[in-house]
Amino acid sequence: MRTVRFRYLPVALAALALVLPVTSLTDAQSKGTIKIATQSPLSGGQAALGEGIKLATQLAIEKLKGPIEKLGFKVELVPFDDQAKPDVGVANAANILADKDILLVVGHLNSGVAIPSSEKYKEAQLAMISPANTNPTITDRNYLNVSRVCGRDDVQGVVGAEFAKTTLKAKSAYVIHDKTAYGQGVAEFFKADAEKKGIKVLGFEGTEEKSNFDPIITPIKAKNPDLIYFGGIYDQAAPFFKQAREKGIKSQFMGPDGMDSTDLVKIGGKSVVGMHYSTVAGPVEKYLAAKAFKTEYKDKFKKDPEPFAAQAYDSAAIGLKAIEAAIKASGGKVPSREQVAVAVRKTKHTGLTGTVEFDEKGDPKKALYFVLQVASDDPTKWGDNKEVKRLSIAAPPLKKKP
């Protein structure tokens, strides 16, 4: 027995040595640590966008944590990789809830991940500010803790249909979607509004296929629509568009903000040049206030900010402001998660992408919608995409359930 005990002693000492200095130092200097979590895909096909959200939040925390540090708290970023998968997002959410220091989540990228994950946050009234989730359900559940700084798919679908009708003069359209909450959602709104405006919808097709689109393309080619609308994300849409052009389809292409990544032209090449996409987040270059952000981001991370990075920066800024207000309201102590969630809703913030003020359900009172045209097959020229249309539209009011 004795020898066994001695054998473990050095291990225990080593473990203590690792843990002790860290805890004692922070205790001496501050009242505690406040953590801000990000949840976005950091690996997989959508990692480019997801990483933008993480890095922009990191930048926001570094630049704007001053006021909270003055109140005696450290601010830390805890990035989570939701892999764009709902189950991973929910599992991460459980870990986030377990860490009592986390008072705010900035995320997600995908609505299909954000919706189930935020059900988890709701259990603890943990505030989530979304930079990118456009599915109406996000805020239509009327949860106190869930807010977003961007527009919505039901409006985005309408913007797309409006553009197809008035600018592209499309008489017929074929709608494809990726069967996710996001892609199918926006595709359905596009279809409904397009039909209302007199565009003939020749087909409505969902697919999870990632590489071989031949059998879907053949009927489309036979029906020869003026426009093909793809409700989904670039990693699926780009190969689809590429194969469609290779098979000789001449229709115009259009999609929602899921197209908005340099990867679209990296994969799609010449076939996507000239196509249009609507977005709730224009390229960073289109926001005048974001100029300094772009340079700082590039200096620090050696790459251009992806779309939604500026929105993530604003989300984090709103969160930091709210946390500061909540600390003050609770008399300098660590606020509860619910207090932070309440404070988020009250925050009015003028950031990189404009002034954000939340309505009763967590949508921005006015959100910007853009239609852009892909300018070049050179990925480094993604910022040159031409802004064809810009609209500021109010979020639809909360539908009262009967």
Q: Which residues bind another protein (CB under 8 A)?
A: 43-45, 47, 179, 203-212, 214-216, 218-219, 221-223, 235, 238-239, 242-243, 246-248, 263, 266-267, 269
Query: CA 122, 282, 373: angle at the middle one, nearest 5?
Result: 130
CB-nearer residue toward another protein: 123 or 214:
214
Closest CB 155 distance from another protein, rounded Å: 26
Closest CB 42 distance from another protein, rounded Å: 11
* 58 neighbors 117 (Cβ within 8 angstroms): no
CB-nearer residue toward another protein: 96 or 173:
173
Task: Give the pair of three-digit tokens for residue 329.
Answer: 């309201």
Q: Look at strands 366-373 and 276-279 and give their pairing.
A: antiparallel
Length of the chain: 402
Closest CB 231 distance from another protein, rounded Å: 13
Closest CB 61 distance from another protein, rounded Å: 24
CB-nearer residue toward another protein: 69 or 378:
378
Closest CB 202 distance from another protein, rounded Å: 10
CB-nearer residue toward another protein: 298 or 365:
298
Closest CB 212 distance from another protein, rounded Å: 5
Q: What is the CA radius of gyration of the chain?
A: 23
Compute the distance between CA of residue 231 and CA of residue 212 in angstroms, rounded to an integer: 18
Task: Give φ, ψ of 270 to 5 degrees.
Answer: -65, -25
Classify 248 in phi/psi space as left (phi over 0), alpha (psi -120 to 50) or beta.
Answer: left
CB-nearer residue toward another protein: 207 or 373:
207
Q: CA 326 → CA 31, 235, 322, distances in Å?
A: 15, 40, 6
Task: Give the pair of three-digit tokens for residue 226.
Answer: 């003026």
CB-nearer residue toward another protein: 206 or 354:
206
| Residues in contact with 71: Cβ distance below 8 Å, sequence separation at least 6, in sequence order | 31, 324, 327, 328, 332
Give me the half-sphere count of Cα atoms (radius 13 Å) on the Cβ side of residue 272.
Answer: 35
Compute the distance between CA of residue 381 and CA of residue 386 in angstroms, rounded to an integer: 11
CB-nearer residue toward another protein: 116 or 206:
206
Compute the distance between CA of residue 258 and CA of residue 231 in angstroms, rounded to an integer: 8
Strand order in the sheet with 32-40: 73-81, 32-40, 102-107, 127-130, 146-148
Closest CB 216 distance from another protein, rounded Å: 5
CA distance from start to end of the chain:
70
Closest CB 219 distance from another protein, rounded Å: 5
CB-nearer residue toward another protein: 235 or 324:
235
CB-nearer residue toward another protein: 141 or 179:
179
- DSSP-derived 3-state class of residue 244: helix
Closest CB 173 distance from another protein, rounded Å: 14
